[in-house]
Amino acid sequence: MTKEDFIENVLNSTNGITQVAPNDDLYEKINQKINKTKVVPLKTLWLVAASIILLIGLNLILINNQNSAAKNQTASFEKSLNQDNQLYN
């Protein structure tokens, strides 16, 4: 048996198979489960939105605090330099 004959034999192996018809009740149950839409409750949606807004607000507050702390540190460093224009004592 050559390689080409083997490939042809495998490709043609499904020619005599007949299709099986599914049970109508089972088919209908499967279709109902597939097409069933899940609705998210409005309360859950509002809780998620409020959580996201809260997280964004906290992040903005923390970023603002870090920026002001960095500015204060820079200002104190500049003040120490301006006293005698020396970087090292």
pLDDT reported for residue 82: 59
pLDDT reported for residue 89: 56
Q: Which two tokens stand for residue 29?
A: 């149950």
- Name residues whose C-beta falls within 8 Å of residue 9's C-beta, 6 or more positions apart in sequence: 1
pLDDT tens string 43-89: 999 999 999 999 999 999 998 888 777 776 666 666 666 566 655 65
**pTM, entire model:** 0.43
User: Higher confidence at residue 74 or residue 29?
Assistant: 29
Q: Which two tokens stand for residue 63?
A: 């970023």
Least Cα distance to 88 among 77, 76, 73, 75 occurs for 77
